[in-house]
Homo-oligomer: A and B are copies of this chain.
Amino acid sequence: MPELLLTEIVRLADGELRGSGETRIRGVAPLEGAGPGELSFIANARYLPYLHATHAAAVLVARELSAEVPASIPQVLVGDPHAALARILPALYPAAPREVGVHPTAVVDESADVGEAAYVGPYAVIEAGVRLGARCSIGAHAVVGRGCRLGDDCVVHAHATLYPGVRLGARCVIHSGARLGKEGFGFVWEGGAHRRVQQVGGCVLEDDVEVGCNTTIDRGSIGDTVVGAGTKIDNLVQLGHNVRIGRHAILVSQVGVAGSTAVGDGAVLGGQVGVGGHLKIGAGARIGAQGGVIGDVPAGETYSGYPARPHREALRAQGALFKLPELIRRVRALEKAVLGGGRERE
């Protein structure tokens, strides 16, 4: 484990030092768990009570909270402690060296093209016609189906499945148990049964897409399902056939997007959000957690609730809902006063 002087931390964080820069830092820990040699951080006033009891060797502090830090603790003032941590952590926790080579138990079809310095783990299966870019890493048991193409530096974790023909850009990360490129859920009712409609579209992830554990992204029925560059998808998300997600979007865990819906660049879908089929969510729109979207959402808007409406309107309506039982009583009282006692109604 490396050890850094606090002055080096200050430099990495592009921060301002208060107290001794000679403190030695070996790791990072939350305020309540930090001990000697550990850097902690505070970004949210909610955690101030922990600050006063911490045993951290130093604290990374959001500038607006700096007045709260006891003078006895060396501190590093920054604008955004989370962004600063993102730059500090790799110095304290260097990544394990990347493995290279094909594990003897991997089954790699002879027609597959494995890029330079790539890694293929134990029991991975690489089918015919696959092209793996340089420095790709394929985890244990992962299955890369016929004709898949992966750009350089992709990481496919253990147990992920790429159905045939999936295409990934460069630097994609596919987590364990993700399933890419299954035929979409398309049936027609004919002859007294649901008959499968063959799904001949593709499943395309552009550069720098991350897909969480056990997430499922179906191939297109006709035309492709596409996830734009830089988009990050959490665990247990479902994207139906022909969904198109823009660039740099964020899909939090357990989101479901139904077929043929388009989500714009930079949109954010909160946890468990559901979006109906054939809709458009504009660029930069945000949908609050558990929201249920049944119509188009304009660019830049924040929607929430079911059915999802502009967030301010949804909040007002939800707040009013809890006044409703009392409102019913008030209306009854008014009816009595205006229309007479005989007008008692439920």
Partner-B contacts on A (CB < 8 A): 27-30, 33, 41, 44, 46, 80, 82-83, 85-86, 89-90, 92-93, 96, 105, 107, 121-123, 125, 139-141, 143, 146, 157-159, 161, 163-164, 175-177, 179, 182, 185-188, 190, 192-198, 200, 208, 210, 212-214, 216, 218, 222-223, 230, 232, 234-236, 238, 240, 242, 248, 250, 252-254, 256, 258, 271-272, 274, 276, 278, 289-290, 292, 294, 305-307, 309, 313, 316-318, 320-325, 327-328, 330-331, 334-335, 337-339, 345
Q: Give the nearest-CB partner of A254 in chain B.
A: B256
Chain B residues within an 8 Å CB radius of A163: 176
CB distance from A185 to the nearest CB of B (A): 5
Query: A198–B90 contact, CB under 8 A?
Result: yes
Min C-beta distance of A76 to chain B, whole Å: 15
Which residue from B105, B254, B337 sits with its C-beta under 8 Å from A254? B254
Known interface pairs A141-B141, A223-B33; A83-B179 also in contact (CB < 8 Å): no
- Give chain B nearest CB distance to A241 CB in angstroms: 11
Known: A198-B89, A254-B238. A122 touches B107 (CB 8 A): yes
- Flag if B235 contacts A179 (CB, 8 Å): yes
Chain B's closest residue to A307 (CB) is B318
Complexed CA–CA distance, A143 and B140 (Å)? 7
Scoring A123, A125, A179 by chain B CB atoms within 10 A of each residue's CB, the highest score goes to A179
With A125-B140, A177-B179, A179-B235 known to touch, is A86 a contact of B272 (CB < 8 Å)?
Answer: no
B232, A235: Cβ atoms closer than 8 Å: no
**Are the CB atoms of B271 and A274 closer together than 8 Å?**
yes
Determine which of B159, B256, B290, B338 lies in contact with A306 in the assembled complex, contact meaning CB atoms within 8 Å: B290
Kindly identify which residue among B141, B210, B232 contacts A159, using a CB–CB cutoff of 8 Å: B141
**CA of A54 to CA of B213, assembled, Å:** 38
> What 9 pairs between A and B have smallest CB-CB spacing?
A30-B223, A179-B213, A89-B198, A320-B324, A216-B235, A161-B176, A86-B197, A290-B292, A238-B253
- Contact between A176 and B175, CB atoms less than 8 A apart: no
Copies assembled: 3
| Residue contact A214 to B212, C-beta cutoff 8 Å | no
Contacts of A123 in B (CB 8 A): 107, 123, 125, 141
Assess the A253–B253 pair: CB atoms within 8 A.
Answer: no
Q: How far is the CA of A195 from the CA of B197 in the complex (A)?
A: 39
Measured CA separation A210–B196 after assembly (Å): 10
Q: Would you call A161 and B158 a contact (CB within 8 A)?
A: yes
Cα of A82 to Cα of B186 in the assembled complex, Å: 9
Neighbouring B residues of A240 by C-beta, 8 Å: 253
Tell me, rounded to whole Å, the shortest Cβ–Cβ distance linking A335 to chain B. 6
A and B contact pairs by CB, cutoff 8 A, 14 listed: A86-B190, A86-B198, A89-B197, A159-B161, A175-B179, A175-B182, A176-B182, A177-B177, A185-B234, A234-B238, A258-B289, A289-B292, A321-B321, A321-B324
Given A158-B143, A185-B252, A214-B216, A290–B274 Cβ distance below 8 Å? yes
